[in-house]
Amino acid sequence: MELYTYNPITKSTNLSPLLPRMPLRPPAPGTALVLAPRKGDLVTIRHGESVPDAWYGTYRQVYAVDVTEHRLVLSMPLLSRNPAFGFPSLVRLNCRVADPAEIVLRGIMDVSGALYLPVQRMLRRVSRDFDIGELHQAEDALTESMRTFSGDAALRLRNVTVEVVVDGNEIVASGRAYRDIERDTRLMEMRRERHLRMLRKDGAEGLIAEIMEREGPRAAYDMIANAEREERQELLVAWQAVLKNSEADREPWESLQAERALRDRMNGGSSSPFGGIRSTRLRGTLAPAPSLEEESRDGGDGRRTSRVRGLRPTKIEDPDR
């Protein structure tokens, strides 16, 4: 049976120096007598030993001390690596009195109280090396640190174990929170997998269809329009860069190639979902761009010239303005 504490001094009797003079009886099994003589040191009598000078007048006080072994439980908080958190712990140990006279001299009437501070001091040196999340590792290290601790002159200890405990309400609350997180994670993964399948199958159009289903046609229209507007803005910036840098040291065909690519993008279909929402009224209004290397023609003076040489890019405004 586990106890939280016990008093090892089961009985204390003051002896009168006066009559009647009666002899002291030897202690019963599991008990030791500690005799305080009128002069000199304490005398310890264990079971099976006789009492010297057993008359009452020889001693002034007699103590009966429990020397049997007890299983004790010490409840103590231990600090973790972060001082804001701790390990609520139960220290279980077997304890017995080693020296009854030392118990009497030190006045130990609460065994757990005598053990608490020394044991806690030893365990805190170990617990402060672990984070609050390392519960199992801390528990093993704490038990290992007490394996060689056997007590002191008054008390003997053995089978010391440390259990890091968690409050029952905290277990229920944390378990519920864990299940909620697991459920939300599974649902999020299912949604993500569904969206990935939709993207792989239908691309951006699939997402727009999902938006239309949830928020209506106007939301889908706005998304397509915004995508096209951003694309047009990027094309205009690129077109202005071509116009600005067309006089740089480069071959005419390079400027022509960049002009043609941007013009096709500006006047052609949009790359936004479903081809965008703007009309293609500009498509075909401009003359088709000449090829990069047209066949040379005779200029009348016997020389062959290229139509590409000296070509200047044509400035095109935003048709949506």
Q: What are the pLDDT digits (tens) for 139-193? A: 999 999 999 899 888 999 999 999 998 776 766 776 788 788 889 999 999 988 8
- Using a cut of 0.85, tell me whether the model's pTM lies above it: no
Q: What are the pLDDT digits (tens) for 22-32? A: 677 889 999 99
Q: What are the pLDDT digits (tens) for 35-45? A: 998 888 999 99
CATH for 1-165 is: 3.30.479.30
- What is 111-143 written as a DSSP string? HHHHHHHHHHHHHHHHHTTS-TT-HHHHHHHHH
Running DSSP on this structure, what letter comes out for residue 98? S
Task: Let me know: does 96 contact 103? Beta carbons within 8 Å.
Answer: no
259 exposed, middle or buried (CB, 10 Å; 0-12, 13-18, 19+)?
Answer: buried
CA within 13 Å, CB half, 253: 7
Q: What are the pLDDT digits (tens) for 96-126? A: 999 999 999 999 999 999 999 999 999 999 9
Q: Is 250 left (phi over 0), alpha (psi -120 to 50) or beta?
A: beta
Task: Let me know: does 9 contact 61? Beta carbons within 8 Å.
Answer: no
pLDDT the model gives residue 83: 82
CA within 13 Å, CB half, 310: 3
Q: Where are the domains of the chain?
A: 1-165, 218-305
Task: Let me know: does 1 contact 71? Beta carbons within 8 Å.
Answer: yes
Q: What are the pLDDT digits (tens) for 196-231? A: 887 788 777 777 777 787 788 888 788 788 877 887
CA distance 59 to 24: 10
- Mean pLDDT along residues 295-301: 45
Q: Indicate whether 269 pLDDT > 70.
A: no
